[in-house]
Structure 1
Amino acid sequence: MSTVVIAPLLVALVTAILTLLTRPSDILQRTVSLLGGVAYLVAVAALFDAVVLPLGGESTTLVYQVSNWAAPFGITLVADALSVFMLALTGFVSLLALGYSVASVGSFGQRLSYHTLFHFMVVGVTGSFLTGDVFNLFVWFEVMLMSSYILVLFYSGREHTRAALNYVVLNLIGSAVMLVAIGGLYSTTGTLNMADIARRLAEPAAYDIELLPTLGLSAVLFSVFALKAGLAPFQFWVPAAYRAAPSPVTAMLAGVVKKVGVYAIVRLYFTVFAAASIDLNFLGITGESFLGFFGPVMFAMAAVSIVLGGIGAVGRDDVDGILAYSSISQVGFIVLPLAVAATAPSEAVRALGVTAALVYAFNHGIAKSLLFLASGTLKDVVGSDRLSDLGGLADRAPVLAAGFLLGALTLIGVPPLSGFFGKYLVFQAAAEAFAAGAANAGPTAVTTPSNGSNSPRR
């Protein structure tokens, strides 16, 4: 059992407690908060080294059983390449946001426990990426969301209160639905440990599992994760919440918190529920597995998100609004290769689709976080983020203008910036899936007449 697995979680938790204890001193609290962000990134780097760069040269999976209670009964934390990849994104974005927070959040904000809430949000995100069972995924979701509820409401104006209320109510409904679905999942499978669920779904007859109810419950969970990720048709909370929250909080919401929903989809539907084999024919959707059902659903939701986000962004005159609506569109681009992977005819194409989604998510998280932080700086320097007020920005603040341009070009995917590689992988996954599908269909089209011509009935 490797204790390095729990290191990022402990660092974030200890930092949250220390920022609460040092609240009487502004300078000390800011110092502790920033050093905690650095220590978190170091802990993630150590975990990355242990998981992705071990001595043997191949990535490995590390497991930590809390209090030495064996799975599937105890609390299990699991670090593999997927979870460490998402933790790296969390470390980079949270450190950027903390650096901005130290410079922008005043004494009054610190007395409202801004830094403590921020680090508890990081605790929830970290636990979500490391947990090995579905119930504790719900628990860590709630830790993350309870902190973000207050941070969205941080400025306490009418607009902020309305946005926070929508955000809170929708996510509370989602949490309640998630808890009911988890209870149903336990009732049908007899376990909530992710590895144990996958093992039992691979042999449903041996454990007396009805796959159709399990599929229905997984569909309910999928709708909750889509809500957390801001996918259409659950995207309506995103623009108001992003505009209402402080800039560093919005950077975390767009760069990391939304990615928790995407991570849950990848983790559960490509590694847990994918173990089940079931013949499906529902509303024209056919397949031989759970992924065969969710692939077309993901494609439709991704396509609608891309279109709605683009239309919404074009109609805005404020930078925060444009970035908020573009986040809806971008999460569609993240889920699109997952839809390709879900219906891929080969494991190689499926792996490429998942890789494309993760690379795109990482690049989007970094670029969009930087853009929201730049937007906050715009409001401080210019006094407005409306496009009509930003004329001559390159003369007034050339460094800020250059940074914003660089972030925008990265988000667009202009080579050789990092955003290009994410979009390239998305298109490559789609092209290879189409080519593989055509290759598989080709022999069928050729051999069918041949089989018919040799039939005794002719």
Structure 2
Amino acid sequence: MRLEVILPIFIPLIAGTLSVVVWRSTFYQRWIAVLGTAALLASGLWLLSAVRAEGHVVMQMGNWQAPFGITIVADTLSAVMAVLTGLMGLVVAIYSLGSIPASHERFGYYPLMHLLLAGVAGSFLTGDLFNLYVWFEVMLLASFALLTLGGERAQMEGAIKYVTLNLFSSAIFLSSIGLMYGMVGTLNMADIADKLSEVEHTGMVNVLAVMFMVAFGIKAAAFPLFFWLPASYHTPRVAVSALFAGLLTKVGIYALYRMFTLIFNGDVAYTHTILLWSAGFTMVTGVLGAAAQFEFRRILAFHSVSQIGYMILGLALYTPLALIGGLFYVIHHSLVKTCLFLISGLVYRLTGTYELKELGEVYRHRPGIAILFLIAALSLAGIPPLSGFFAKFIIVRAGLEIGAYTLTGIALAVGLLTLFSMIKIWAEVFWKAAPEGMDMERLKAPVNDSHGRFMLTGIGILIAGILLLGFWGQPVIELFEVMAEQLMNPEGYIEAVLGGEQ
């Protein structure tokens, strides 16, 4: 039994169960959250170490050999995403200690957070399409409940839009699974990849590819069905928004990378051209939506859509360098966008509003917070030598190498518009004179209480990650080179799964 590959799923399930057991004690729930997510991060690092040593780590549940049983499998991509899940969970758990009100804690915030993390980890580590669907539904259940905690009108409206479109995605996904099983007689992803090349009706394979593309594209918030994200991400508590921004859309991106490198790689000219233009439209619509907003979290939500386009572009270009850039962008974006959402929550604590027109002079009174924002914002915009620059540079270089000049130009233009949005937030929130009616006494009040320290600790961890990824990125790039090689040559994955437990 390979504990390292199953622990990232079991740990949040156990932590969530313990949180329910101590339901009456928010004190114990808080520290179970911190210790549980720290253990999740440690298990992810253990798994990554094992994958680095062995290439793939496979576990067949109940000793039923693939493709007949449930397979849990990790390659370098899965292991890195498991580490990311633990890191985002730990940061948000620490931040939540200072930002989540007792009313939310009493109604199950921490058990729901653990359930969400279990769904995310399960999605990254399953080797079976139906179980991927199951983990998607676990995430949907937990995320919908987290969105509605508090019961405010805006939350309910955002949650309805969120769940409606995601249920539509789930219906397409389940239909695709049924058609896939009817075509090849298996749902094990490695076995599907092995048998799909023998299918005579290539037109039906392409139809299935588009169906999966739509289902996962909705989960990832790709064009054209992305509007659930900016309609919902600004409505819950900012810790919830940050957790969603760091992880939820990344599961859709992961599924696209897995399916369109492992399974649907036979007609790249057709499938990846669709992905290419979807990436371009996603970048443009997201950044234009952000430019029109004047609410802190809405701007960040629209930019989440825009940045998803870069990740899809890395997959669509489908070269080793492009895959490196796209997946590097996933890690960079998770750190940066989670950090920006958490900073928006800290600004709200100091000022009582997210509206840019009602803010000002934060730099004068809180220069440290302003500098933290500036680091994250410039990284998102792709200013060197921060992580966003290297993520964009690799993707742009990959595009130029294969002559994708139009999409490369779009990526560069979107980067400039992203910088415009970040400058807008800086000018409105941190630099301009405080507008009339702004509560300056609240802004000047100290934040060195326990709540403020927890919030700053979570932000500080992410800022350190952003700086490390920018200034010490070579080891990460080398890791991603291995990842890209495994994705471009999926025979190793197939052999590891179908060859039995390693």
Q: What's the TM-score, normalizing by structure 1?
A: 0.86
Greater alpha carbon shift after TM alignment, 258-267 vs 171-180: 171-180
1:88-127 to 2 correspondences below 5 Å: 88-127=83-122
The residue aligned with 1:423 is: 392
**Largest Rg, 1 or 2:** 1
Q: Tell me how far apart the structure 2 counterparts of residues 381 and 66 of structure 1 sit (CA, whole Å).
A: 50
Structure 1 ranges of 4+ moved more than 4 A:
none
Match of 2:361 in 1: 392
Rounded to whole Å, the distance in 1 between the matches of 2:298 and 2:4 is 40
* Residues 360 and 423 in structure 1, CA contact (< 8 A), matched pair in contact too: yes
Instruction: Tell me the secondary structure at the aligned position of residue 224 of structure 2.
Output: coil
Shift of 1:423: 0.7
- The equivalent residue for 1:304 is 281
Secondary structure of 1:353's counterpart equals: helix
Residue 172 of structure 1: how far off its partner (Å): 1.0
Deviations along 1:136-188, one digit per CA (max 9) or x if unpaired, are: 11000001111001111112111111110111111111111211110011001
When the two structures are aligned, how many residues end up with a matched partner? 405
- What pairs with 1:14-29 in structure 2 (closer than 5 Å)? 14-29=14-29
- Superposed CA offset, 1:333-391 (max 9, x none): 111121111xxxxxxxx111111110011101110000001111111111112222331
Counterpart residue number, 1:192: 187
TM alignment of 1:394-409, pairs within 5 A:
394-409=363-378
| C-alpha contact (below 8 Å) 2:290/2:302 kept by paired residues | yes
Give the conservation status (yes or no) of the 8 Å contact 2:314–2:327. no
CA distance in 2: counterparts of 1:44 and 1:402, whole angstroms:
31
Paired residues of 2:104 and 2:150 also in contact (CA < 8 A): no
What corresponds to 1:168 in structure 2? Answer: 163
Matches within 5 A, 1:2-401: 2-52=2-52, 54=53, 60-204=55-199, 209-274=200-265, 276=266, 289=267, 291-341=268-318, 350-401=319-370
Shift of 1:434: 2.1
Counterpart residue identity of residue 238, structure 1: L
- Work out the CA distance in 2 between the residues paired with 1:295 and 1:210: 19
Q: Which residue type is aligned with residue 178 of structure 2?
A: G
User: Once superposed, what is the RMSD of the aligned Cα atoms?
Assistant: 1.4
Corresponding position of 1:442? none
Structure 2 CA distance for partners of 1:435 and 1:119, relative to 1, 3 Å: closer
Q: What is the match of residue 446 of structure 2?
A: none
Q: Following the alignment from structure 2 to structure 1, what is the Cα–Cα distance between the partners of residues 117 and 263? A: 25
Tell me which residue corresponds to 2:461: none
Aligned-partner residue type, residue 298 of structure 2: G
State the SS of the aligned residue for 2:233. Answer: helix
Residue equivalent to 1:444: none
**Corresponding position of 1:441:** none
Rounded to whole Å, the distance in 1 between the matches of 2:326 and 2:99 is 33
Residue identity matched to 1:49: S
Contact 1:92 1:366 in 2 (8 A): no
1: CA distance, partners of 2:143 / 2:368: 31
On the 8 A contact 1:77/1:130 being kept in 2, the answer is yes
Q: CA separation in 1, counterparts of 2:89 and 2:32? A: 14
Distance 1:62 1:322 in 2: 40
Q: Structure 2 counterpart of 1:222, which letter?
A: M
Quote how far apart the aligned CAs of 1:269 are.
0.9
- Specify the SS of the correspondent of 1:434: coil
Contact 1:308/1:329 (<8 A) preserved: yes
Q: Distance in 2 between matches of 1:32 and 1:106?
A: 17
What code does the residue aligned with 2:120 have?
Answer: V
**CA displacement, residues 44-70 of structure 1 (integer Å, 9 cap, x when unaligned):** 011111112x2xxxx500101111111
Taking a change above 3 Å as real, the CA distance of residues 435 and 242 of structure 1, as seen in their structure-2 partners, is closer
Shift of 1:214: 2.4
Distance (Å, rounded) in 2 between the aligned partners of 1:397 and 1:382: 11
> Deviation of residue 23 (structure 1)?
1.7
Equivalent residues of 1:23, 1:110 under 8 A apart: no
The match for 1:448 is: none
Higher relative contact order (CA 8 A, sep 6+): 2
Q: Is residue 230–residue 328 contact of structure 1 (8 Å, CA) maintained in 2?
A: yes
Distance 1:322 1:106 in 2: 25
**1:71 partner SS:** coil
Question: What CA distance in whole angstroms lies between the structure 1 residues aligned with 2:139 and 2:373?
Answer: 29
**Percent identity of the aligned residues?**
39
User: Secondary structure in 1 aligned to 2:193?
Assistant: helix
Post-superposition shift, 1:435?
9.2
Partner SS state of residue 198, structure 1: helix
Using the TM superposition, give the Cα deviation of residue 104 of structure 1 relative to its aligned residue in structure 2, in angstroms.
1.3
In 2, Cα distance between equivalents of 1:228 and 1:383: 32
Q: Which amino acid aligns with 2:352?
A: G
2:230 maps to amino acid: P
Offset of residue 3 of structure 1: 2.2
Q: Which secondary structure does the structure 1 equivalent of 2:403 belong to? A: helix
| Deviation larger for 102-111 or 308-317 | 102-111
